Chains A and B, each alone.
Chain A
C-alpha cells in the first residue's frame, strides 16, 4: 500500500448531510461519533464543511426541494470522495415509497443514488451506530482505492 492509499485510509473526514429525514438516523450518526464509540480512534472526525470532507453521510428521503442542495453539496466536495447512504429512506425511499406500482410520495426526490453516486449502503431503520462505523470503514477502503 502506497503513501497515498495509506493516507486516505487513515484519515477519513466525514460530513453529515441531513436530507429531510425523520432525524432517527441523524441521532444514530451523532451517537456513532460520540465518546461512546469514538471513531477518532481510527481517524474519523466530523467536519461540518463539505470542502474539508472525504466521506458524506446522507440520511433521509431527499425531498424534491432538497435535491439541488444535495447535488451542490456533493459537487463542493473535492475528489476523491465517497458517499454513504444511511437508513432505508436514503437507500430505497423506505416507507415514503410504499410500492413501485403506486408510485412514491409526492414530496420525494428519489433515493439518494438517483441523485448522486452512492458507494456504501447501510441498511436499517435506523442502523446501529456500530453499523454506521462499519459503513464508514468500508467507504474509507473504497476511497483509498480511488485514483
Chain B
C-alpha cells in the first residue's frame, strides 16, 4: 500500500509540471500543425485539420438546383417553390455537419467552414443559424407551374450548347428557347405542334 501511495505521489508531482489543459477560450485559433498537439506544452489550435464547421452559403454562386436538399440527411436544407420563387431555408439546429452538400453542389456555392462557435441564444434574437434566401424561377407560359431556376437554366443551356457540335448548335438553340418556357407536362403535350419531338443529332 505504501509503495503504491509513493508511486501515486510521484505521479501527482510529475503531472504538476505537465499541464494537459488547452487554452481554448483564449487561445490562438490559427492553424499550426508543426507543434506537438498532445502532452505538456502542446501548441494547440482548436481548429483541427479537416474540421467540418458551419456551412457557408454563397448566394451569388448558387444556381438554385436544390441538389443540396436532395442529399441532406438531416433535412437541414429545405426548399419550397412559392410565387415564382424558390425559397431555401437552412436550419443549423438540425445540421449534423456531414458535408454531403459540399460534395454535391455543382457550383461550389456551399462550403463547410471551420467556424465552430455556433451557440445561439433563442429564436427571438438575431439567429445566425437560420439562413433564408430566394432564387427566381421560370414559370410555364401556358399553365404557370415552375420550370426551373433562371440561373440554373442559363448555366446548363450554355453548357449543353458548348458541348454540342457546330452542326446542330443553331437548331438546338431554337429548341431550347421554345421548350425552356414550358413546364415538363406542357412540353410533352405540345411536342408535336412546336416541333419538339426527339431529334437525332448525328
Interface of B is mostly: loop
Known: A88-B93, A91-B93, A99-B75. A121 touches B120 (CB 8 A): yes
B24 touches A130 (CB 8 A): yes
Q: Which residue of A lies closest to B48 (CB)?
A: A128
Is A120 interfacial (CB-CB < 8 Å)?
yes
- Residue interface mask B16-36, A partner, CB < 8 A = 1: 000011101100000000000
> In the bound complex, how far is the Cα of B95 from the Cα of A88, in angstroms?
7
B118 touches A (CB below 8 Å) = yes
Most B CB within 10 A of own CB, among A91, A119, A138:
A91
- The residues of A that contact B92 with a CB separation of less than 8 Å are 123
Interface residues in A108-147 by Cβ distance below 8 A to B read 118-125, 127-128, 130-131, 133-135, 137-138, 142
A119 vs B123: C-alpha distance when bound (angstroms) = 9
Q: How large is the interface on A (under 10, 10 to 19, 20 to 34, 35 or more residues)?
A: 20 to 34
The answer to whether A88 touches B119 (Cβ under 8 A) is: no
Residues of A within 8 A of B93 (CB): 88, 91-92, 121, 123
Residues of B within 8 A of A137 (CB): 25
Interface-central residue, A124, A131, A137, A142, by most chain B CB under 10 Å? A124
- CB pair A138–B22 under 8 Å, yes or no, is no
Across the interface, B75 reaches (CB within 8 A) one of A37, A98, A124, A135, namely A98
Chain B residues within an 8 Å CB radius of A88: 74, 93-96
Any B CB within 8 A of the CB of A38: yes
The contact string, 1 if C-beta is below 8 Å from chain A, for chain B 88-130, is: 0001111111000000000000000000111111100000010
In the complex, what residues of B have CB within 8 A of residue A119's CB?
Answer: 121-122
From B24, B46, B73, B97, contact of A124 by CB (8 A): B97
Contact: B94 with A92, CB < 8 Å?
yes
Q: Which residues of B contact A92 (CB under 8 A)?
A: 91, 93-94
Of the residues A35, A125, A135, contact of B20 by C-beta under 8 Å: A35
Min CB–CB distance B51 → chain A (angstroms)? 8
Query: Once the chains are docked, how many angstroms separate the CA of A18 from the CA of B22?
Result: 26
Q: Is A30 an interface residue (CB 8 A)?
A: no
Write the nearest CB–CB distance from A96 to chain B, whole angstroms.
Answer: 11
A106 to B163, CA, bound (A): 51
Contact A138 B119 (CB under 8 A): yes
- A36 CB–B CB distance under 8 Å: yes
How far apart sit A21 and B129, CA to CA, in the bound complex (Å)? Answer: 22
**For residue A90, which residue of chain B has the nearest CB?**
B93
Asked if residues A120 and B117 are in contact (CB atoms below 8 Å), the reply is: no
Give min CB distance, A34 to chain B, whole Å: 9
Q: List 7 A-B contacts (CB under 8 A).
A: A88-B74, A94-B96, A120-B119, A120-B122, A122-B118, A124-B96, A125-B74
Since A42-B25, A92-B91 are in contact, a sample of 15 more A-B pairs with Cβ atoms closer than 8 Å, ordered by chain A residue number, is: A35-B20, A37-B21, A38-B21, A88-B93, A94-B96, A118-B122, A119-B122, A120-B120, A120-B121, A120-B122, A121-B121, A123-B129, A124-B96, A130-B117, A134-B119
A contact residues vs B (CB 8 Å cutoff): 35-38, 41-42, 84, 88, 91-92, 94-95, 98-99, 118-125, 127-128, 130-131, 133-135, 137-138, 142
Nearest 9 A/B pairs, CB to CB? A135-B119, A125-B96, A91-B93, A38-B21, A92-B93, A134-B117, A122-B119, A123-B92, A92-B94
